[in-house]
Amino acid sequence: MANLSMAGALASAMLFMAPAHAQNSPMSLADRVARLEQQQQNQDQNKVNQLNQLQQMQQTMQQMQGQIEELQHQVQQLQDQSKAQYSDLDSRVGRLEKQGSANPAPSSSAPPAASASTPGTAASAAAPPAASAPAAPAESAAEKAAALNAYNTAFKSLRAGDYVSSSRGFREFIQKYPNDGLTSNAFYWLGESYYATTNYQVAVEAFKRLLSQYPQSEKAPDATLKLGYSQLEMKQTDAGIATLKSVVSKYPNSNAAKLAQERLRRLSQQTTR
């Protein structure tokens, strides 16, 4: 009886131990191979994903490099344009300063009276109205001095970069002194004031007024050049190119013609790229 109880206990213990033994048994060879293959596939997929990401990064870098080169080209163009404009402005400012120093305001002194010994003038020399004759030249000289002062004030504002004040000053000068010798110059600098503030349409009107009313002005070459520049800025490419070519043909020996040729050269390079 005791033996039977012992046998039952051993059998029960073996039944409980069987699952545990099965759980702790090593994996079969097929399972291990399948597991390794799955790990290899996961690694291969990771490598493919990394490769795709690398290719995308390379494409992005190439696109960025192209954009950087294009921006560098645009910056270089703007620098060249700015240098040309500043050089042009400096040269014209220098010429204007020389012109101002070479043409001072006329003297307000009265002209000499007619000699009494001249035949036929004795009576007129003695007449009372002769004393008031110098009045008109004196007023003309004062007006000339006032005009020159107004012009210089507007020009100082332009050189200081105060384009709002300079444009206002030149407009007032043109309205008040339409027949002054500096009126054609005032039209040019008025256009420059508008051009500097990118008001190209108004600048075009000022340059065209100068060219139509003062075709023989010394500012005509520069006004034609800046007219072409303004048209290009307004995307009127054909008109701008035609205007620049007219500068070269009409004023071949001017500094404006050299600047026009340089701008035409850059435009040609842009179209061939």
**pLDDT value of residue 85:** 56
Percentage above 70 pLDDT, the chain: 62
Please report which confidence band the pLDDT of residue 271 belongs to, taking 50, 70 and 90 as the band edges.
confident
- Tokens for 27? 């994996």
Neighbours of 28 (CB within 10 A): 9
- Tokens for 42? 């996961």
Percentage above 90 pLDDT, the chain: 44
- Tokens for 187? 């039209």
Q: How would you write the chain as a 3-class SS string? A: CHHHHHHHHHHHHHHHHHHHHHHCCCCCHHHHHHHHHHHHHHHHHHHHHHHHHHHHHHHHHHHHHHHHHHHHHHHHHHHHHHHHHHHHHHHHHHHHHHHHHHCCCCCCCCCCCCCCCCCCCHHHHHCHHHHHCCHHHHHHHHHHHHHHHHHHHHHHHHHCCCHHHHHHHHHHHHHHCCCCCCHHHHHHHHHHHHHHCCCHHHHHHHHHHHHHHCCCCCCHHHHHHHHHHHHHHCCCHHHHHHHHHHHHHHCCCCHHHHHHHHHHHHHHHHHHC
196: buried, middle or exposed (CB in 10 Å: 19+, 13-18, 0-12)? middle
- Tokens for 56? 């995308």
**pLDDT value of residue 119:** 35
**pLDDT value of residue 47:** 83
**pLDDT value of residue 73:** 52
Higher pLDDT, 138 or 79: 79
Give the HSE-up count for residue 176: Cα atoms under 13 Å, Cβ half-sphere. 14
Is pLDDT of 231 > 50?
yes
The mean pLDDT value for 192-210 works out to 95
pLDDT tens per residue, range 26-75: 678 878 888 888 888 888 888 888 888 887 787 777 667 666 755 655 55
Is pLDDT of 113 > 50?
no
What integer best gives the mean pLDDT of the chain? Answer: 75
Is pLDDT of 223 > 80?
yes
- Tokens for 264? 């035409």
pLDDT tens per residue, range 81-111: 555 555 555 555 555 555 554 554 443 333 3
CB contact at 8 A, 104 and 138: no
**pLDDT value of residue 77:** 54
For 117-120, the CB contacts below 8 A with 24+ separation are none
The mean pLDDT value for 161-190 works out to 95
Q: Which region, left, alpha or beta, applies to residue 55 given φ > 0 means left and ψ of -120 to 50 means alpha?
A: alpha
The mean pLDDT value for 133-141 works out to 48
Is pLDDT of 120 > 50?
no
CA gap 201, 212 in Å, rounded: 17
To the question of pTM greater than 0.85 for the whole model, the response is: no
**pLDDT value of residue 62:** 65
Question: How far is C-alpha 19 from the chain's CA centre?
Answer: 86
**pLDDT value of residue 108:** 36
The mean pLDDT value for 189-203 works out to 95
The mean pLDDT value for 144-168 works out to 94
